[in-house]
Amino acid sequence: MISFIVLIWMFYLALLFGFGNLTKRGFPQTFSTTNIFDEMYANLDKVNEIPNTNKRTFSTFNKHLEEFKSTSFDYNDAGNISSDYKNIFVQQDYAYNKIYISYEKELEANLTLKLWFTYNPKTKIAVEYLVIIDNRNSESTDIEKPSEIKSYLKQYHVTISNVEKSYDLVVKQLILKDWTDVYDSKFSTSDYDKIKVKTQWENW
């Protein structure tokens, strides 16, 4: 008969390795699923197919060289959306406890507006921000200074209203709709309007 002490020790090991795996994968210890982005963060790697995408699983390492698996879906074709926006992807990143969504709009040849949406399931806060990528010279330059971004937007006639509409189009009407189509979600695309979103341009 297995002694009581051995049983307690086995139970301890099961708890240690079970919960340890969640921490190692990067789940916040206080993680709770309260909206569609939480659900995506916890389950994106379990989905096999999203229409018109390629699934990619890869590894990243933190500063202690601990491995974290991440999964992304890269869109090949998004119908009418792809005429204005390219390189659309959604990524679940356990290393940094984030959902990343990104897409691009070409301003001119080798000059791109990159639009980012990030969501942290621990803080329940999303952030929308912009980067200009300039590949017109021999070296690629990422322009992140707000005053310079504003100047580019004005020069290429891109308004903040255009930017905000693009987030609704790509994040809500494309990616979240696809998620509810392929996953038995208990949430809806309207969750995008319910979470707290900070924008880079809110004080412009």
Look at residue 83 in the predicted model and tell me its pLDDT: 77
Look at strands 125-134 and 98-108 and give their pairing: unpaired
What is the CB-side half-sphere exposure of residue 155 using CA atoms within 13 A? 11
Whether the Cβ atoms of residue 61 and residue 67 lie closer than 8 Å to each other: yes
Structure tokens at 144: 């992140």
pLDDT in tens, 112-128: 999 999 999 999 999 99
If you average pLDDT over residues 118-147, what whole number do you get?
Answer: 95
Who wins on pLDDT, 113 or 28?
Answer: 113
Q: Does the pLDDT of residue 80 top 70, yes or no?
A: no
Region 17-35: mean pLDDT is 56
The mean pLDDT of 136-163, rounded to a whole number, is 95
Count of Cβ atoms closer than 10 Å to residue 176 Cβ: 23
pLDDT of residue 50: 94
Q: Which of 128, 124, 81, 78 is nearest to 100 (CA)?
A: 128
